[in-house]
C-alpha cells in the first residue's frame, strides 16, 4: 500500500458536515462521500412515501447551455427533442447517446429564459462534459458548469407544503403553481436559486438548486419544519418502486435505450432531425429489438438482486439490472432486461433455485400506492 | 460501536452462542453483523430435527442491502427455531441478543463451545 493520492479522496458536497452531524453512515458513491442512511433505510423510505424527506443530490452536475446555436445543438446531442419544450421552465427527460445508439447518460434539460439548464449524473459528469465539448466544437454554444451550486430534493406528499414554509414567502404562490416537470430560476440566475417540481421517488416534490454556501442553513431550516434527511439507500428503493432507471445499472454505454425502457424518450419525429445515435436505433428497430425492460415481482420470500439470471422457458435468458426489497409492498421487486418474446412469467436463479416471478409493467408504486396488477 | 456481551461466546462468521441451563445452545447473529447488513427483511431458519455440522449453512438472513448465510457455529441437532423472528425479521436489528435468537441446538459435544471466541477475542476480531 502506498500513499493515497489526492484523486483517491472522495469528493464532498457542501452538506457533508450536516450529514455527519445528523449521524449519517457515509459511503463512497461514484467518488463522492455521501450518506447511505441516517439510521434506518426502511424508516427513511416510509417517511418519503407518507410525509416529506430530503436528499442531498449536490453531487449531480448542473450545466447551463447558452449561445446562438444552443437549441440546434441540443437537437442533435440528445435523443429527445428540445423542440417539445413548449413553455419556459418545461423540463424534458432524455438519453444522450453514442453514435452506436447506446446510453452515455440520462439527463433532464429545462428551457429557461436565458437558454437551457441540464442536470446530469454525478458519476458520468466528467465524461458527459468532455463529450459535449467535443460535439460543440465549431458551434456557438457555451457550457457553464455550475459546480458552485448545491442541490436538495424534497420529496413526499407533504414536501411542497413544508418546503414553502422555509422558502422566500414571495415565492410561495409560484412554487405551488409549478406544473409537474417544470422549474425555473427564482431571483437572478447568478443568485443561484432554481426550483423545479421534479424528483426521483414517484412522489410529488421539488428539486432545489441553490448556492453551496447557503445550503447548510437551508438544510437545517428544512429539518426545522419536519423534513427528514434521507440517504441514498432509500433513494434507491424509492426510485426502484417508481420504476425509474439508474445509470450504470439499468443502462449504460453497452445498452440501447430501446432495450432499457427508454423508448418513450426517443423523439422519432421529425424524421429529419439527425440526433446522435439515430441511425443505429433505426437499424435496431428495423431488425427487431431483441430485449425489453420489464418489472419482476417475487411475492414469496427472498430478495431479487442486480446481476441475477432470469430464465424464460422456451424463450431465452435475461438479467436483473436492479433489484430490492420493496418497503412499500413488503416483498421483492426488480427491473430486468429479458427477451422481447417473454410473456407474463419467468424464473430467477435465486441462490441456486429457479424461482417463479411475475412479469409486470412498471412502475410498481406511484404516490404511495401499488399500481401494477 | 457494536455491543458484544461479555457472557456470550462468538465465532468469526458473526454468530453468537449461549449455553443454556438445560444443556442446549442458543445461537443468533451479532450486533456487529446486523449493523453490517442494515435493515433485515427476511430470515430463513433451519428445520427442527436437522443435524448440523460445524460451519454448515443453517439459514439465510436477507437485508435490504445483501443476503448472507447463517452458519452453525458448532455441530448439533436443531431442537427449536425462533418462529417469531420469521414474522418479525426486524427484531434482528433491534434485539440481536434477545428476541432475535435464531435457533437452539443440542450440541454434539458441549466442549466445542470452548473453542469459540470470547467476547474480548471477538471484539478484537471485528476491530470494535
pLDDT tens profile A238-285 = 999 999 999 999 999 999 999 999 999 999 999 999 999 999 999 999
Task: Say what the pLDDT of residue B128 is.
Answer: 67
Whether ipTM tops 0.95, in short, is no
Query: What b/e sequence results for A166-176 when a residue is b if at least 16 CB atoms lie within 10 Å of its CB, and e otherwise?
Result: bbeeeeeeebe
Q: Is residue B44 part of a domain?
A: yes
Task: Give the pLDDT band of residue A163 (cuts 50, 70, 90).
Answer: very high
Tell me the mean pLDDT in the region B75-86: 97
Cβ–Cβ gap A302/B62 under 8 Å: yes
Q: Is residue B126 part of a domain?
A: no
Angle at alpha carbon of residue A322, lines to A280 and B67, rounded to 5°:
150
**Is a pLDDT exceeding 80 seen at residue A3?**
no
Q: Does A237 touch chain B (CB under 8 A)?
A: yes
| Residues of the domain holding B53 | 9-119
Task: Put the strands of the sheet holding B67-71 in their side by side order.
Answer: B40-44, B57-63, B67-71
The number of beta carbons lying within 10 Å of the beta carbon of residue A278 is 19
Q: Is residue B43 part of a domain?
A: yes
Cβ–Cβ gap A42/B39 under 8 Å: yes
Tell me the mean pLDDT in the region A203-208: 98
Task: Give the pLDDT band of residue A189 (cuts 50, 70, 90).
Answer: confident
Q: Is residue B112 part of a domain?
A: yes
Tell me the mean pLDDT in the region A23-39: 95
Cis? peptide before A363, omega within 30° of 0:
yes
Collapsing DSSP states into helix, strand and coil, what is residue A321?
A: strand
Collapsing DSSP states into helix, strand and coil, what is residue A84?
A: helix
Q: Does A37 touch chain B (CB under 8 A)?
A: yes
Domains, chain A: 7-242 (3.30.1360.120), 257-370 (2.40.30.110)
Q: Is residue B90 part of a domain?
A: yes
Q: Is residue B2 part of a domain?
A: no
Q: How far apart are CA A240 and CA A58, in angstroms?
A: 21
Give the DSSP H or E segment for A49.
helix A41-50
Contact residues, chain B, for A301 at CB < 8 Å? 42, 44
Tell me the mean pLDDT in the region B37-65: 95
Percent of chain A whose pLDDT exceeds 70: 98
Give the DSSP H or E segment for A169.
none
Task: Give the pLDDT band of residue A190 (cuts 50, 70, 90).
Answer: confident
**Is a pLDDT exceeding 50 seen at residue A32?**
yes
**Is a pLDDT exceeding 90 seen at residue B1?**
no
The answer to whether A335 and A257 are in contact (CB under 8 A) is no
Task: Say what the pLDDT of residue B55 is.
Answer: 94
Task: Give the pLDDT band of residue A42 (cuts 50, 70, 90).
Answer: very high
Q: What is the CATH number of the domain that holds B72?
A: 2.40.50.100
Q: How far apart are CA A220 and CA A236, in angstroms?
A: 23
Q: How far apart are CA B99 and CA B88, in angstroms?
A: 10
Task: Give the pLDDT band of residue A2 (cuts 50, 70, 90).
Answer: very low
Task: Say what the pLDDT of residue B115 is.
Answer: 94
Percent of chain B whose pLDDT exceeds 90: 95
Give the number of residues written for chain B: 128
Percent of chain A whose pLDDT exceeds 90: 93
Indicate the annotated binding residues of A for substrate. 207
> What are residue A277's phi and psi, to 5 degrees?
100, -10
Written in H, E and C, the secondary structure of B110-121 is HHHHHHCECHHH
Please give the C-alpha separations between residue A274 and each of A15, A133, A266, in angstroms, as whole numbers.
41, 19, 12
Task: Give the pLDDT band of residue A8 (cuts 50, 70, 90).
Answer: low
Cβ–Cβ gap A301/B42 under 8 Å: yes
Contact residues, chain B, for A35 at CB < 8 Å? none
The answer to whether A279 and A273 are in contact (CB under 8 A) is no
CA torsion angle A167 A170 A173 A179 (round to 10): -60
Tell me the mean pLDDT in the region A126-142: 98
What is the residue-averaged pLDDT of chain A?
96
Angle at alpha carbon of residue B15, lines to B20 and B26, rounded to 5°:
20
| pTM confidence score | 0.93
Q: What's the domain count of chain B?
A: 1
Collapsing DSSP states into helix, strand and coil, what is residue A115?
A: strand
Give the DSSP H or E segment for B26.
strand B25-29
Tell me the mean pLDDT in the region A11-36: 96
Task: Give the pLDDT band of residue A351 (cuts 50, 70, 90).
Answer: confident
Contact residues, chain A, for B40 at CB < 8 Å? none
Distance of CA A41 to the CA centre of its chain: 19
Q: Is residue B93 part of a domain?
A: yes
Cβ–Cβ gap A233/B42 under 8 Å: no
* Among A321, A245, A262, CA closest to A94: A262
Beta-bridged to residue B42, according to DSSP, are B62
Would you state the cell numbers that stand for residue B36, as one nine-digit string? 453490517
Q: Does A254 touch chain B (CB under 8 A)?
A: no
Contact residues, chain A, for B90 at CB < 8 Å? 42
Q: Is residue B4 part of a domain?
A: no
Task: Give the pLDDT band of residue A7 (cuts 50, 70, 90).
Answer: low
**Between residues A191 and A140, which one has the greater pLDDT?**
A140
Task: Say what the pLDDT of residue B32 is.
Answer: 97
The answer to whether B11 and B68 are in contact (CB under 8 A) is no
Angle at alpha carbon of residue A356, lines to A351 and A362, rounded to 5°:
105
The answer to whether A272 and A81 are in contact (CB under 8 A) is no
Task: Say what the pLDDT of residue A5 is.
Answer: 42
pLDDT, one tens digit per residue, over B5-22 is: 999 999 999 999 999 999
Amino acid at each position: 500500500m502506498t500513499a493515497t493520492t489526492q484523486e483517491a479522496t472522495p469528493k464532498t458536497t457542501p452538506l457533508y458536515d450536516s450529514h455527519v452531524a445528523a449521524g449519517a453512515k457515509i459511503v463512497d458513491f461514484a467518488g463522492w462521500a455521501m450518506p447511505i442512511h441516517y439510521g434506518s433505510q426502511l424508516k427513511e423510505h416510509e417517511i418519503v412515501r407518507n410525509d416529506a424527506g430530503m436528499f442531498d443530490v449536490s453531487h449531480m452536475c448542473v450545466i447551463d447551455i447558452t449561445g446562438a446555436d444552443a437549441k440546434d445543438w441540443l437537437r442533435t446531442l440528445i435523443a429527445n427533442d428540445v423542440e417539445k419544450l413548449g413553455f419556459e421552465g418545461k423540463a424534458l427527460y432524455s438519453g444522450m447517446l453514442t453514435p452506436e445508439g447506446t446510453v452515455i447518460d440520462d439527463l433532464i434539460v429545462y428551457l429557461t429564459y436565458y437558454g437551457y439548464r441540464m442536470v446530469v449524473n454525478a458519476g458520468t459528469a466528467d465524461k458527459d462534459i468532455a463529450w459535449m465539448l467535443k460535439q460543440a466544437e465549431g458551434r456557438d454554444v457555451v457550457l457553464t458548469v455550475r459546480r458552485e451550486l448545491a442541490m436538495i430534493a424534497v420529496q413526499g406528499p407533504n414536501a411542497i407544503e413544508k418546503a414553502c414554509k422555509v422558502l422566500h414567502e414571495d415565492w410561495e404562490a409560484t412554487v405551488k403553481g409549478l406544473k409537474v416537470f417544470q422549474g425555473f430560476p427564482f431571483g437572478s440566475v447568478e443568485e443561484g436559486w432554481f426550483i423545479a417540481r421534479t424528483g426521483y421517488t414517484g412522489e410529488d416534490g421539488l428539486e432545489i438548486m441553490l448556492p453551496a454556501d447557503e445550503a447548510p442553513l437551508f438544510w437545517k431550516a428544512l429539518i426545522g419544519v419536519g423534513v427528514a434527511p434521507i440517504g441514498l439507500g432509500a433513494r434507491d428503493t424509492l426510485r426502484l418502486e417508481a420504476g425509474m432507471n439508474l445509470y450504470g445499472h439499468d443502462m449504460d454505454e453497452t445498452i440501447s435505450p430501446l432495450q432499457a425502457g427508454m423508448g418513450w424518450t426517443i423523439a422519432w419525429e421529425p424524421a429529419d432531425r439527425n440526433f446522435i445515435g439515430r441511425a443505429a436505433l433505426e437499424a435496431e428497430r428495423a431488425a427487431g429489438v431483441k430485449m425489453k425492460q420489464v418489472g419482476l415481482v417475487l411475492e414469496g420470500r427472498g430478495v431479487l438482486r442486480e446481476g441475477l439470471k432470469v430464465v424464460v422457458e422456451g424463450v431465452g435468458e435475461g438479467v436483473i439490472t436492479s433489484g430490492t426489497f420493496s418497503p412499500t409492498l413488503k416483498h421483492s421487486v426488480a427491473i430486468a432486461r429479458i427477451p422481447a418474446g417473454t410473456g407474463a412469467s419467468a424464473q430467477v436463479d435465486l441462490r441456486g433455485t429457479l424461482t417463479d416471478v411475475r412479469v409486470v409493467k412498471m412502475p410498481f408504486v406511484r404516490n404511495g400506492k401499488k399500481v401494477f396488477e | 460501536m457494536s455491543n458484544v456481551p461479555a457472557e456470550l461466546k462468538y465465532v468469526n462468521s458473526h454468530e453468537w452462542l449461549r449455553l443454556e441451563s438445560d444443556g442446549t445452545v442458543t445461537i443468533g447473529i451479532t450486533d456487529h453483523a446486523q449493523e453490517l447488513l442494515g435493515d433485515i427483511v427476511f430470515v430463513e431458519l433451519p428445520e427442527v430435527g436437522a443435524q448440523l455440522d460445524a460451519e454448515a449453512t443453517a439459514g439465510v438472513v436477507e437485508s435490504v442491502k445483501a443476503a448472507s448465510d447463517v452458519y452453525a457455529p458448532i455441530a448439533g441437532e436443531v431442537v427449536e427455531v425462533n418462529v417469531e423472528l420469521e414474522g418479525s425479521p426486524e427484531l434482528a436489528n433491534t434485539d440481536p441478543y434477545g428476541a432475535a435468537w435464531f435457533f437452539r441446538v443440542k450440541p454434539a459435544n458441549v466442549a466445542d463451545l470452548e473453542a469459540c471466541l470470547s467476547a474480548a477475542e471477538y471484539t478484537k476480531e471485528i476491530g470494535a
